[in-house]
Chain A
């Protein structure tokens, strides 16, 4: 009984300790951002490896998700004779929800895990220590550029995901199932509101970008510097990011679209 309590207390303390370290690191990463802005080459390299290299998986997934939306949406709408509204269904689900959320989940699997493994291995092979001894701050040189790159890439990737998804819905709905082409596009034009939908979607992506980048970098930087430690940290990145993104998505949706 006492043993159990003790263990619970220990686990609790460890949790809060990690949370505390995570926040301190977050603060240092933010403090390092100005020095990244004056060295755009560092940032561009990272935007390339974090963002551009994630493009393929985002485009392919976006296409399939849009096609499935087109198919499912059509099957439901056709019962009500409302298949002309297919464009609305596809575009709104993508822009409001699936774009930001699925992009963030894919990002965690593709870029987040890579970030954690890279930083964890740099720690394990003393590269970070070596930089410190060369009077180069690894937080500014290594962590901040990667964080900023994730923050910039996430909304762009989500936008691409949504755009490709709308095209996917178009191929299936208009191309295969015979929804009127003009109706598809004009429905989208009429129903997608810039402030309510697009901006809110972008806000979600930015929040997910912060969370995904932060978790991936923290897990790498805090990893136990062994192969096993790094592999565990990589797994934790994907799991924690996914949970955080889904949880935050609910909260953000409630805040943004709750009243109406």
Chain B
């Protein structure tokens, strides 16, 4: 766990979660410190998106506790949970823009729902957020007219519209060209430092993520397999960390979804069995 005097913003203890018979998290302990950028990395399908949804209270763990800002997410009443969510921004992997509203209205949506700002002020705020992600000129486009990377940036503008205390980014870099990637990396850092936010970045883009994060957790097989500052992890000689950070095909992290032996599976076809 990262060392600090203030209590962590998110504190996860003994988290267990399964989908059907498949165990996704099997006793995860994890702290997200305040005011820092924490990266959560791990192979595809380990449950990074699931973890963000658990923190946001959209999924319920089978055991263990998740505290955000001292409040246990899954014991809050509905109203309190909603109040807490106003303080959390979640950037969905898919963007999740409202398809019947244009870019401007999408970013304005949380402001219209939760505040009574006069129209001129609302407009200024929205344009500021859009300017930050470089899409002020795209305000009249509908979500169907955006590229995947643009949609992600609009979603980012929307996630910061209410000035939350923390933002969770689910794969912010996928589908970005090198320029907007660079801008996004800087933006995440700036938002974090200038607004005093705390950020959680989930990503596969090892180099970019490690470069901006203050602390890194590596997840695999339902557990935290390594954690530390980027420097510590760089010096970490454990096989997990090496394999993931350097992108080696062979090692303890399996590339394949769990399955029975390949040869056995191929042979099963000759007996006409599909189970």
Chain A positions near chain B (C-beta within 8 angstroms)? 121-122, 125-127, 129-137, 141
Per a CB cutoff under 8 Å, which of A127, A129, A131, A134 touches B99? A127
Enumerate chain B residues within 8 angstroms of A131, measured Cβ to Cβ: 98
Interface size class of B (residues with CB under 8 A): 20 to 34
Are A133 and B94 in touch, CB under 8 angstroms?
Answer: no
One of B83-91, B250-258, B263-271 contacting the partner: B83-91
Interface contact A129-B92, CB-CB below 8 Å = yes
B63 at the interface (CB under 8 A from A): no
**Contact of A125 with B94 in the complex, beta carbons under 8 Å:** yes
B109 an interface residue at 8 Å Cβ cutoff? yes
- The answer to whether the Cβ of B22 comes within 8 Å of any Cβ in the partner chain is no
Taking the closest CB of chain A, its distance from the CB of B193, in whole angstroms, is: 24
B56 close to A (CB within 8 Å): yes
Q: Which residues of B contact A136 (CB under 8 A)?
A: 109-110, 113-114
CB-CB under 8 A from B58, the residues of chain A are 129, 132-133
Q: Given A129-B58, A129-B92, A141-B113, is A135 in contact with B97 using a C-beta cutoff of 8 Å?
A: no
Contact B96 A129 (CB under 8 A): yes
- Find the B residue at minimum CB distance from A132: B58
User: Given A125-B99, A126-B92, A127-B98, A133–B85 Cβ distance below 8 Å?
Assistant: yes
Secondary structure of the A contact surface, majority rule: helix
- Nearest chain B CB to A104 CB, angstrom units: 26
Q: B96 touching A130 by the CB < 8 A rule?
A: yes
Known A130-B92, A136-B113; 18 more pairs at CB < 8 Å: A122-B99, A125-B94, A126-B92, A126-B96, A127-B97, A129-B53, A129-B96, A130-B96, A132-B58, A132-B85, A133-B88, A133-B90, A134-B113, A135-B114, A136-B109, A136-B110, A137-B82, A141-B113
How many angstroms between the C-alpha atoms of A132 and B90 in the bound complex?
A: 10
Q: How far is A121 from B97 in the complex, measured between Cα atoms in Å? A: 12
Residues of the B chain whose Cβ atoms lie less than 8 Å from the Cβ of A126: 92, 94, 96
Residues 85 to 125 of chain B near chain A (Cβ within 8 Å):
85-86, 88-90, 92, 94, 96-99, 109-110, 113-114
